[in-house]
Structure 1
Amino acid sequence: MVIETWKKSGIATKFPTYRNSSLVTVHTWQQGKRQDDEAEGLWRIHDGIYDFTEFIDKHPGGPFWIRETKGTDITEAFEAHHLTKAPQSMIAKYKVRDAAKPRIYTLTLEEDGFYKTLKERVRQKLKTIDNSPKRTSDLIHLSIFLSIYIFAIASVKLNSLVALVLAGVAICWTVIISHNYFHRKDNWRMYTFNMGMMNFCAWRISHAMSHHIYPNSYFDLELSMFEPLLCWIPNPHLKSKMLRYVSWVTEPIAYFIAFFLQIGTRIFYSLRHTNIMYWHDLLSLSIPLAMYLVAGRSAGLLLCVRYWLSMTSIASFAFCLIGLNAAHHDPEIYHEGDANREDRDWGLFQVDTIIDRGDLKWSQFLVLTHFGDHILHHLFPTLDHGILPQLYPILYETLDEFKAQMRECNHIEHIIGQHKQLLRTEPNTRAPGSGK
């Protein structure tokens, strides 16, 4: 496919190869990134090329992260996922040479820049931070996870629509809360993400490696995967104004089928191309199985499956209603094509692509179940959501120092803004931080 002249990225010197694929998946994103990143078939961090082959199975966070990033530039991911100084000194022995070509990404991580300054202050704060909220996060997660089975079984046993809906909400909240855990080293809680028919391994790529690093850009897989149904990039070449209005009508349908599209796409790609399925893709089947074994034998397996599909559809709708209106889409937020901030610091780029949900901050439960404390989570994804509130004074101080601003709104305002963004076709000409 010929890349038209309008296909330019605001954060890189190249247009991502994967966006020319006929079927966009996590696998095509990885393939494209390996072609684009100038990592010379190994791992790139800043301007160094590293060979972590012998380190894959030794990685404290689990082999997945190293294995799946081979052949790519992992600079921002490395910085955001390692808060101590030990990893920087540890990787020195794996360096094989300096990179032959400059990085394609124009975002910076200077020692005296916003992100590195904030990171150092957070590192010091973590030495004295109260870690007890982590236990609350674990308890909330376990309670909601178990409630899936309680409500699902009750829906069959009592033939209750209310219980069915509650089971769907519980699936949705479990999926969202488990996202608190899959950014970290391997743990059992990350597997509960799969209760919604999605898979945490695929989402570690599309969410942690793509969206978290390059939000609202052409390199953000979470934008591409919704096109052409939903298009938030303000470019008439991608979707006309009329079709953007149609998105308002098709949006609820997309919400209801999103979970099914995720697994359907992965099954289709696995059958036609390369297998990207895992054994734990079967975990969501434990829900109808529990329904049948405990309460549904008289009603029959078919009824249990039908109920399960219904509650999964409810979970899919709720997940999209929360997730797509959580932080990233509003005409005031930077999207690909908008004017760039003069300071290309990666941390400031994260701030520019997010409006936080200010109505959630009073409740750890709401933060966990509604993607709250979003800016801090993007900047420090391995930290438990429960301890993020203690970092706000440091964040505010550093934002003031670098003349940046954290924006907030409530959920209704964000829903309205997200629909306005779906209609926006003209890029913002005023760069973030440039003043009125």
Structure 2
Amino acid sequence: MTPNSKDDGDWRVSGISRNYPSYRQHRPITSESWLERKNVDDEAEGLWRINDTLYDLSDFAARHPGGSSWIECTRGTDITEPFESHHIEERARGMLSKFEVRKAARPRNYKFTLEENGFYMTLKRRVREKLRQIGYSPTKKTEFLHLGILVSVFLFSWAGTALDSLIFKGLAGLSLCWVATSTHNYFHQRDNWRMYTFNLTMMNFRNWRISHALSHHVYANSLHDLEMSMFEPFLCWIPDRHYASKAQRLISVVISPVVYVFLFQGQFLIRLVLSLTKRNVLRWDDLIGFSLPIFIYLSTGVGLLSALLSWEIIISVGSFIFGLVGLTAAHHDPRILHDGDAQRQDFDWGLYQVDTIIDRGDIKWSDLLVLTHFGEHALHHLFPTLDHGVLKHLYPELRKTMKEFDVELREINHWSHIKGQNQQLLRIEKNPIPPGSKKLK
């Protein structure tokens, strides 16, 4: 059936776009399938679309300061919001005219606006001025924390296996989770060696640049958000019975801890099966994930089966903590905007990001916890390429702009997020009250 047709019913409608995202009608849902169908939905004609203008960035890809992969993987898609949020300085915008081809045949699919006097562009100008004072570069402290966490994975893995200690294996799993969450700080940025450490989890940073940076960060909590759809039907946060019944939602709450355990291994297995049955989606850096069990086997002197069992415990613990932290970080609570809920009349992209987030107020005192628990979440969504060590200095600009536009920065603790996430899994009724109509108490 055609998306948004009368026969489909009005539930196949996204509040942020003209058309229902076609990737949802093709299984399995993967990063690759999301990009393929986005090529169709965005009507970029095989080029790169920014607003209603098409550009040819083919020859620029190799010279792109952030790395060629950002350009190559977005060919044929609308990159309006990533372009604006990834380039805080105006230099990139000034270069665009060199690559302009023509105007797009039709208006863009997405309803977001980025008006110069709107919330996001006003905030961006203020942030740009602040960054010229304090600098853009990743902070040494963040780099030190990431390196320490990385080393601890191997130290605890060795100790847990050599001493046959579940405590040390658990600490190794925690460290592995923290490698993933802290490396998240780096795969948003220009290509760097730290982004490869994400692959120790058996996940792959290349896929996450698509599912997280290009999908979730741009279209958070919407039908276009790949990090929502990839969990369906096991976990469903869209408040509509057509996506999951009450019974399915009750089951989701019960099985969610089990889903967490298999996040790391599951993503690798999906890529492996797709490579064997459809087309190869594995890359050379997928081998990085096997460096940890090889290290355990070679350094501890235990048998192969013992080494593999130890690794499985470590990766399962890490996966569980990653799911518990990641899926309850900021986005899922009945008070947070999800596709289907009433939205603001102002479709400013920055306002939308704020509406889809309740921040973690209980971890701001610790740079380590912010780095490893997706802290400073609103600022991170608004300016994803900035180091977490830089984001904390931008609150004066954020609060000033929020006050000017009558927007609230909402914060709760992690326990409230855990409760809220389960409540959201159970929610079927759409919220008829637009964001901003009620303040979070």
Identify the TM-score tier after normalising by the shorter chain.
over 0.9
| 1:428 aligned partner | 431
Rounded Cα–Cα distance in structure 2 between residues aligned with 1:53 and 1:218: 29
Q: Is it true that 1:122 corresponds to 2:123 in the alignment?
A: no
Rounded Cα–Cα distance in structure 1 between residues aligned with 2:236 and 2:2: 21
1:227-238 matches, cutoff 5 A: 227-238=232-243
Q: Is it true that 1:392 corresponds to 2:377 in the alignment?
A: no
Q: 1:259 aligns with which of 255, 258, 264?
A: 264
Q: 1:359 offset after TM fit, Å?
A: 0.3
Residues 134 and 75 of structure 1, relative CA distance in 2, 3 Å threshold: same
Q: 1:274 offset after TM fit, Å?
A: 2.4
Q: 1:222 offset after TM fit, Å?
A: 0.1
Q: 2:201 aligns with which of 188, 196, 202?
A: 196
Q: 2:355 aligns with which of 352, 364, 377?
A: 352
The alignment yields a C-alpha RMSD, in angstroms, of: 1.2
Normalising to structure 2: TM-score of the pair?
0.97
| 1:99 aligned partner | 104
Q: 1:306 aligns with which of 292, 302, 309?
A: 309
Q: 1:336 aligns with which of 312, 334, 339?
A: 339
Q: 2:154 aligns with which of 149, 152, 156?
A: 149
CA distances 1:52-96 after superposition (whole Å, capped 9, x unpaired): 111111111001000000000000000000011000011211001
Normalising to structure 1: TM-score of the pair?
0.98
Rounded Cα–Cα distance in structure 2 between residues aligned with 1:131 and 1:380: 11
Q: Is it true that 1:113 corresponds to 2:118 in the alignment?
A: yes
| 1:162 aligned partner | 167
Q: Which is further off, 418-427 or 261-270? A: 261-270
Q: 1:2 offset after TM fit, Å?
A: 5.3
Q: What SS does the aligned partner of 2:133 have? A: coil
Residue identity over aligned pairs, in percent, reads 54
Where in structure 1 do 4 or more consecutive aligned residues deviate above 3 Å?
Answer: 130-133
1:37-116 matches, cutoff 5 A: 37-116=42-121
Rounded Cα–Cα distance in structure 1 between residues aligned with 2:87 and 2:281: 27
Rounded Cα–Cα distance in structure 1 between residues aligned with 2:61 and 2:389: 30
- Structure 1's unaligned 5+ residue stretches are none
AA matched with 1:165: G
AA matched with 2:397: I
Rounded Cα–Cα distance in structure 2 between residues aligned with 1:381 and 1:250: 31
| 1:378 aligned partner | 381
Number of matched pairs: 434
Q: 1:129 offset after TM fit, Å?
A: 1.5
CA distances 1:4-24 after superposition (whole Å, capped 9, x unpaired): 222000000000110001200
CA distances 1:7-51 after superposition (whole Å, capped 9, x unpaired): 000000000110001200001100110000011111001111000
Q: 1:131 offset after TM fit, Å?
A: 6.8
AA matched with 2:41: D
Residues 235 and 295 of structure 1, relative CA distance in 2, 3 Å threshold: same
Residues 358 and 410, structure 2, Cα contact 8 Å, conserved in 1: yes
AA matched with 2:329: A
- Structure 2's unaligned 5+ residue stretches are none
Q: 1:273 offset after TM fit, Å?
A: 1.9
Rounded Cα–Cα distance in structure 1 between residues aligned with 2:201 and 2:334: 30
Q: 1:127 offset after TM fit, Å?
A: 1.1
Residues 52 and 280 of structure 1, relative CA distance in 2, 3 Å threshold: same
